[in-house]
Amino acid sequence: MSNPWSTGLFDCFSDIGSCVCVYFCPSCSYGQIVSILNTGQPGGACGDCGSCCVFCLLGYFGFVVSCGTRTQIRNKYGLREEPCSDCLVHFLCLACALCQDFREVKKQNGLMGAAAAPEVEEMSR
């Protein structure tokens, strides 16, 4: 049985941070997606540096590697292949697909939402 994605393909603005990151630096976003998928943590500005560099070097043809990562995300979290095949989603709407992938790995690893404020310790006299 397959589960639905936590957000839709065109829900880019539901996580404005991911949306901005994908818009301004899709290769860094892709590196972060790979890092979160593999380690559960974003791993710095570029995430998985190797993945970031490969995606950057491929330019628009980065969808060739990112569609395989989408398949890994689906398999790991038991998600449906929707609205069409992974490669077709990344080929036709790369930015929306990266945003959805980013939101999903963040949600699945408990990284969605605002960071918790640190606890304030009172000074003793």
pLDDT attached to residue 91: 94
Asked if 103 and 96 count as a contact pair (C-beta separation under 8 A), the reply is no
Q: DSSP character for 12?
A: G
pLDDT attached to residue 113: 64
What is the three-class DSSP state of 79?
Answer: strand
pLDDT attached to residue 1: 55
Tens-binned pLDDT, residue by residue, of the chain (125 aa): 589 999 999 999 999 989 999 999 999 999 999 999 999 888 777 888 888 899 999 988 988 999 999 999 999 999 999 889 999 999 999 999 999 999 999 999 988 764 443 444 566 66
pTM reported for the whole predicted model: 0.84
pLDDT attached to residue 43: 79
pLDDT attached to residue 124: 67
Asked if 105 and 5 count as a contact pair (C-beta separation under 8 A), the reply is no
pLDDT attached to residue 121: 58
From 90, 73, 74, select the one nearest 26 (Cα to Cα).
90
